[in-house]
């Protein structure tokens, strides 16, 4: 199995901060990585796909980078609507795996 490890598990930040979340794969997944945002009681929302492609309608303050085994999600200037939990997800030609999530809290 490919394991996905996100860090940190929890992040405390203020409005306007630059925030970076890391996701590491236990083996290379090329660029087959997506990022989702989830708010309490809601389904996840796709933000980034293929490591760095921004989903339509997602604000440009969100960006993704990386390939192989290390990936990052960056929020350039944190907004009140961005306080949520973020998950990475990989695909390895047979199955899909999610990371354990990173909760972005208000500092």
Residue 2 makes contact with other proteins by CB under 8 A? no
Tokens of 75: 């929020």
Min dist CB 20 to other proteins, Å, is 20
Residue 55 makes contact with other proteins by CB under 8 A? yes
Number of shown-chain residues binding other proteins (CB under 8 A): 23
Among the listed residues 68, 39, 37, the one whose alpha carbon sits nearest the alpha carbon of residue 51: 68
Residue from 13, 26, 49, 52 binding other proteins (CB under 8 A): 49
User: 20: which residues sit within 8 A by CB, 6+ positions away?
Assistant: 72, 73, 74
Min dist CB 92 to other proteins, Å, is 9
Among the listed residues 17, 43, 47, 49, the one whose alpha carbon sits nearest the alpha carbon of residue 31: 49
Residue from 14, 43, 60, 81 binding other proteins (CB under 8 A): 43
Q: Are 101 and 9 in contact (CB under 8 A)?
A: yes
CB closer to other proteins out of 17 and 58: 58
CA distance 44 to 58: 13
Interface with other proteins (CB under 8 A): 1, 32, 34, 36, 38, 43-46, 49-50, 55, 87, 89, 91, 94-101
């Amino acid at each position: 199995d490919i394991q996905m490890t996100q860090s940190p598990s929890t992040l405390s930040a203020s409005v306007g901060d630059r925030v970076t979340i890391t996701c590491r794969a236990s083996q290379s997944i090329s660029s087959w990585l997506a990022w989702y945002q989830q708010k309490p009681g809601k389904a996840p929302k796709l933000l980034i796909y293929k490591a760095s492609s921004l989903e339509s309608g997602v604000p440009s303050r969100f960006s993704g980078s990386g390939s192989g085994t290390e990936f990052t999600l960056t929020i350039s200037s944190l907004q009140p609507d961005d306080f949520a939990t973020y998950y990475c997800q990989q695909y390895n030609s047979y199955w899909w795996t999610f990371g354990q999530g990173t909760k972005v809290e208000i500092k």
